[in-house]
Amino acid sequence: MRDFVWADELTGERAEDVRALLLAARETDGRPDVEPGGSLPGEFAGPRHLLGLVGEGPTTALAAYAHLDQRGDAFGRQVAELIVHPAHRRRGHGAAALEEVLRRSSGPLRVWSHGDHPAAARLAERFGLSRARELLVMGATAAEHEWPEPALPDGVRLRTFVPGRDERAVIEVNARAFDWHPEQSAFDIAALREAQRESWFDPEGFFLAENADGRVIGFHWTKVHPANPHRFGGRPVGEVYVVGVDPDAQGGGLGKALTLAGLRYLRERGPEQVILYVEGDNAPALAVYRKLGFDVVETDVQYERGA
């Protein structure tokens, strides 16, 4: 028996059941980045939630979970995450859950496949979804690279982020630098302030570039992830979280300089591994990162249903 329940909020036992499923998936797949306590990762925030149940009465179990972001990305496409509990895989629950998500969503839809699993590719083909986006995870071992001092363009200086003062300047650069990006272009001051309340937030690892007039023209926001026992060798990992350069300041080496400043800082913090996420079709960025010693270690895919 299989039953699907839609909910706009996850509370009480439902929330704990979903967390248990996500933790079981992390133990098998290395992801998602979910902790035993605290709030669920941002990709599972907000309505709607699909719970795929099997069994009856006291033996009922959560076999599959999907989150459907009906607000959509910056271009109005709804976005779905779908995970089957490892103990219930290869029994058709993933296909049934995807069919339900497709039935209850409308318009353009994108569905994530983290790790580019062959099973997800088969499901996408079965339901007529096309491979629309590749998000590459690149990694480098910090000790193996002598990242040099950043060479800044003339008149540009680096400083670190000051909470309560620099939010608007960063968001203005972010909006101009990422007007093409389905997630980052929607990042706003409220989201930045919310991130500052996270335990990992570190203003000393948030570098801003100012021109001679004192205007912020670029930034590099670094992040250190706590150890995930099922990913990257179970050790803490540094991340080139976001590098943004105002379009008017691009082409002069500022992006590389900001990247180097953050990489050197992360190396000093101690993580052995540094990762970053980059779009698979961003050839200029891929070339820069490969020259800095990064190689592709994982691939995430979005499959798309058109309008």
User: Hey, what domains does the chain have and what are their CATH numbers?
Assistant: 2-128 (3.40.630.30), 138-299 (3.40.630.30)
What is the share, in percent, of the chain residues with pLDDT greater than 90?
77
- Average pLDDT of the chain? 93
List phi, psi (to 5°) of 12. Answer: 55, -130
Residue 187, pLDDT above cutoff 60: yes
Residue 1 pLDDT level (bands cut at 50, 70, 90): very low
Indicate the annotated binding residues: 82-84, 183, 223, 239, 243-245, 250-256, 277
Greater confidence, 34 or 53?
A: 53
Closest residue by Cα to residue 222 from 187, 267, 163: 267
Indicate the annotated binding residues for acetyl-CoA: 82-84, 243-245, 250-256
pTM of the model: 0.90
